[in-house]
Amino acid sequence: MITKRKISFDIAVLGGGPAGMISAGRAAELGARVVLLEKNDSLGKKLLITGKSRCNFTHYEFDNTKLVEKFGKDGRFLYSALGHFGVSEVLDFFQSRGLLWQVERGNRVFPRDGDARDVLRVLMGYLAGGKVEVLCNSKVNDIEAIKDVPRIFKIIHSGGELFTEKIILSTGGKSYPQTGSSGDGYRWAEKFGHTIINPTPALNPVKVSEKWVKELQGLTLKNVSLQLYQEGKKRDERFGEMLFTHFGISGPIVMDMSKSIDKYLKKGNVKLLLDLKPALDFQKLEERIKRDFQEFKGRIFKNTLSKLLPASLIPVIIQLSDIEEEKRVDYITREERKRLLHLLKELELTPTELLGFPWAMVTSGGVSLREVNPDTMASKKIENLYLAGEILNLDGPSGGYNLLQCWSTGYLAGENAAKKAERVK
């Protein structure tokens, strides 16, 4: 039997990422004695690399129905959290603590100075204000639930052990393990009776089999459309910006589509069709090509595409079109023109696999939402355990949705854990 004298904290928050920091801060603000354990030597390692270190910390959308839809069929879980601490509250929270912000393309909200460290500074101030005891370099190795009244937990970590009444589990998912998120929390959630929906990488670059992509490494295409096909049926479609890399493709529309690419790859072969000119249908584009060829009459083919394509894409398209690059455009046949047209509207890419967890921005899967109370973030499996952030089976597209999820669920978890925390003298 553990005596209450040994309990030095009301709440232990495990994991010092966005969800952990805000939940620890909120619980402390309400008067709970809180310890935050983080295995890295500093807090928010992943937070600092978000949005290319500029931190797209929320999406600028105030309609919660639109927000939850972005999380797919499980998004409904977030109604309560967003209703309590949604986009307005998140913006107020940061602004009232000195963070100026701005809305950028696609309703993405960033700190005005474009520095993720400004977001971290607000959170550190919040923790300090509540006198949260922050233990960095403290890897949690195990948790034991001790039957007592009320229940207490023993946390075994690299610096020793401690006892607490409540735990907020915010150890993140498995993506970018180099930042500390290696999925440790799943083990304890499972130990306490939770179901873990198989974690898979999401918002992930995609490998393709076409060797020519290497020649395009670094090329960003804006306003293109990407369609996903399986067995002749269109399964997904995105419009926006993408990027070629040495192994395949990346950039916002690819990352957002990666979850469905992965899903369909598990069932069989998948094709991607890239439309380089989505604003023009086949007929209009053909007319445009004819006009260009007329204008460049007498010139050789390779010198006639500069108005249509970025420079680095021209040699690749010429090679794929099988049209002699030195051929004069006036000698290009109808059939050759059709081939070119087809390449511009339906450039084929064959995904082979996702790049995997080391390069996934988020984890799809995690602790089953059915086993977590959406109004409090409390576990339905074991009393006094709360869960927040990416450890939950929730993932949204790029655009600030994932951090918004962390702020909302984290705040709610901290608040409810604190509300029920009984002071232990």
Ligand X SMILES: Cc1cc2nc3c(=O)[nH]c(=O)nc-3n(C[C@H](O)[C@H](O)[C@H](O)COP(=O)(O)OP(=O)(O)OC[C@H]3O[C@@H](n4cnc5c(N)ncnc54)[C@H](O)[C@@H]3O)c2cc1C
**Least spacing, CB of residue 385 vs ligand X, in Å:** 15
Question: Residue 97 class from Cβ within 10 Å (0-12 exposed, 13-18 middle, 19+ buried)?
Answer: middle
- The b/e string for 100-134 (b: 16+ C-beta within 10 A; e otherwise) is ebeeeeeebbbbeeeebebbbbbbbebbeebebbb
d(CA 208, CA 80): 40
Residue 180 in contact with ligand X, rule: CB under 6 A = yes
Site string for ligand X, 251-270 (x = CB under 6 A): --------------------
Single out the segment in contact with ligand X by CB under 6 A; choices: 179-187, 237-245, 291-299, 378-386. 179-187
Pick from 402, 407, 411, 418 the residue near ligand X by CB under 6 A: 402
**Binding span for ligand X by CB under 6 A among 39-47, 120-128, 190-198, 243-251:** 39-47
Question: Which residues, numbered 59-88, are part of the site for ligand X (CB under 6 A)?
Answer: none
Is residue 414 near ligand X by the rule CB under 6 A? no
Which residues are CB-neighbours of 281 under 8 A, at least 6 positions away? Answer: none
Measure CA of the first residue to CA of the last residue in the chain; give whole Å: 17
By beta-carbon proximity to ligand X, the closer residue of 384 and 409 is: 409
Q: 115 or 346, CB closer to ligand X?
A: 115
Q: Which is nearer to ligand X, 176 or 296 (CB)?
A: 176
Instruction: Report the candidate in 326, 223, 345 with the shortest Cα–Cα distance to residue 286.
Output: 345
- Cα(69)–Cα(82) distance, rounded to whole angstroms? 13
Cis status, amide bond into 150, omega within 30 of 0: yes
Between residues 207 and 337, which has the closer beta carbon with respect to ligand X? 207
| Ranges of H-type helices in 247-312 | 252-265, 282-295
Contacts with ligand X in 323-352 (CB under 6 A)? none
Contacts of 76 (CB under 8 A, 6+ apart): 68
38 is a site residue for ligand X (CB under 6 A) = yes
Question: In terms of CB distance, is 91 or 361 closer to ligand X?
Answer: 361
**Pairwise CA distance, residues 19 & 16, whole Å:** 8
Question: Rounded to whole angstroms, how far apart are CA atoms 334 and 23?
Answer: 65
- Interface with ligand X (CB under 6 A), residue from 45, 166, 259, 277: 45
Q: Which is nearer to ligand X, 19 or 314 (CB)?
A: 19
Smaller CB distance to ligand X: residue 167 or 274?
167
Least separation in angstroms between residue 350's CB and ligand X is: 26
Q: Would you count residue 226 as binding ligand X (CB under 6 A)?
A: no
Residues 358-397 that bind ligand X (CB under 6 A): 361-362, 389-390
CA torsion through residues 273, 276, 279, 282, sign: negative
Q: Which of 64, 80, 164, 181 binds ligand X (CB under 6 A)?
A: 181
In this complex, which beta carbon is closest to ligand X, that of residue 13 or of residue 418?
Answer: 13
Is the torsion defined by CA of 311, 312, 318, 321 positive or negative? Answer: negative
| String of contacts with ligand X for each residue 133-152, x by CB under 6 A | ------xx------------
Q: What's the closest the beta carbon of residue 329 comes to ligand X, in angstroms?
A: 44
Nearer to ligand X, 139 or 342 (CB): 139
Considering the complex, what minimum distance in angstroms separates the CB of residue 187 from ligand X? 9
**Enclosing H/E stretch for 34:** strand 34-37
Size of the site for ligand X (CB under 6 A): 38
Q: Which two tokens stand for residue 150?
A: 């009320």
Q: Residue holding tokens 């005596």?
A: 3
Amino acid letter for position 170: S
Give contact residues for ligand X (rule: CB under 6 A).
14-20, 37-40, 45-47, 49-51, 55-56, 139-140, 170-172, 175-176, 180-181, 184, 361-362, 389-390, 400-403, 406
